Amino acid sequence: MTAPARITVLSGGIGGARFLVGLLAHLRATDPDGRGGTRTEVTVIGNTGDDIWVHGMRVCPDLDTVMYTLGGGISAERGWGREGETFTVKEELAAYGVEPTWFGLGDKDLATHLIRTQSLQSGYTLSEVTAALCDHWQPGVTLLPMSDDRAETHVVVDDPDQGRVAIHFQEWWIRHRAALPAHAFVMVGIEEARPAPGVLEAIAEADLVLLPPSNPVVSVGAILQVRGIAEALRSTPAPVVGVSPIIGGAPVRGMADACLTTIGVQTSAAAVGLHYGARTAGGYVDAWLVADTDAEALEPLRAAGIAAACAPLLMSDPETTAALAAATLALVPARWP
């Protein structure tokens, strides 16, 4: 089976970026372009619900994580920010007592935030800025923000002093490690937010759409809240295949379990697949890949009209991640000549 010509991936967080490493490695091995790349065109629709104004700069964590991870600049240890990073400016700001001291502002990362902020303030769109930054990083994919408009995930929590308040997702995620019970997630600005240029087309014209093991609530879930994107996913002629972010009842990394609890979804491979739902029943996926240890998920998924299979899901290195990508593509009914 030759590879699909165009793959679109809805990605957020570190899991999504790591999956993309394996996908590109697999495509370069099985569908090479003779120049070290692949003939398959991969478009990534990146979550921007995590974006935040910090110290006067616009930070786009999920876009930067894809850009750095695929561009070779990511901190392998953290999964976010830059390799070989220092935090001198962060320490100096803290010495001044300037908040947020909890945000990990890296000195190398600062260059990206400064360029993005100046460009936005000059009137460029987030899409234009992202394309310019990617021109430097050469991630090997087309990276599109889900929207050029502000649509930020905020978390409704009970503050001991202030009562029920909404805090930015980053504060909940970083400062509170998602340990503060979240009553709800609200996306500030989502009503006005429109899909960025090319986003709906990337879904409608894909040969395959992939949902990587990103957080189904605040990453993929956020992307699906942007006007028109959920409908585009439900109606694209391309098959939609997802990979469970939950293995053995726990998230592989991050705190997706806290997010799933908030929306009343059980933390299991089956529950997340069923949460997305079968496209034949008005949902978002045609197929769902679960870990070898979650074989009990296969029956309920299939009963719901979702093709399901087991595969090793741990992305411990590019080779195992490429094998995961191969298993994901193998779930797709052979549709290409």
Q: Which residues bind ligand FO1 (CB under 6 A)?
A: 12-14, 50, 59, 61-62, 64-65, 80-81, 103-104, 109, 170, 173-174
- Least Å distance between CB 104 and ligand FO1? 2
Question: Given the complex with ligand FO1, which of 172 and 284 has the nearer CB atom?
Answer: 172
Phi, psi of 22, rounded to the nearest 5 degrees = -70, -40
62 vs 79: CA distance, rounded Å: 11
- Least Å distance between CB 64 and ligand FO1? 4
- The 3-state secondary structure of 246-295, one letter per residue: EECCEECCCCHHHHHHHCCCCCCHHHHHHHHCEHHHCCCECEEEEEHHHH
128 vs 148: CA distance, rounded Å: 9
- Least Å distance between CB 100 and ligand FO1? 9
Q: Which residue is nearest to ligand FO1 (CB)?
A: 104
Question: Given the complex with ligand FO1, which of 236 and 321 has the nearer CB atom?
Answer: 321
Let me know how long the chain is: 337
Per the CB < 8 A criterion, the answer to whether 157 and 134 are in contact is no
Question: Given the complex with ligand FO1, which of 51 and 207 has the nearer CB atom?
Answer: 51
Question: Given the complex with ligand FO1, which of 38 and 267 has the nearer CB atom?
Answer: 267
Question: Given the complex with ligand FO1, which of 166 and 323 has the nearer CB atom?
Answer: 166
- Least Å distance between CB 111 and ligand FO1? 12
Residue 159, number of CB atoms within 10 A of its CB: 11
Question: Given the complex with ligand FO1, which of 169 and 276 has the nearer CB atom?
Answer: 169
- Least Å distance between CB 334 and ligand FO1? 34
- Least Å distance between CB 238 and ligand FO1? 25
275 vs 269: CA distance, rounded Å: 10
- Least Å distance between CB 291 and ligand FO1? 21
Under 8 Å CB-to-CB from 269, ≥6 apart: which residues?
244, 246, 247, 288, 290, 291, 294, 297
DSSP 38: B
Question: Given the complex with ligand FO1, which of 45 and 311 has the nearer CB atom?
Answer: 45
- Least Å distance between CB 148 and ligand FO1? 18
Q: Checking DSSP bridges between strand 250-251 and strand 246-247, what pairing results, if any?
A: antiparallel
Residue among 232, 217, 228 nearest 187 (CA) = 217
Question: Given the complex with ligand FO1, which of 6 and 55 has the nearer CB atom?
Answer: 55
What is the CB-side half-sphere exposure of residue 107 using CA atoms within 13 A? 8
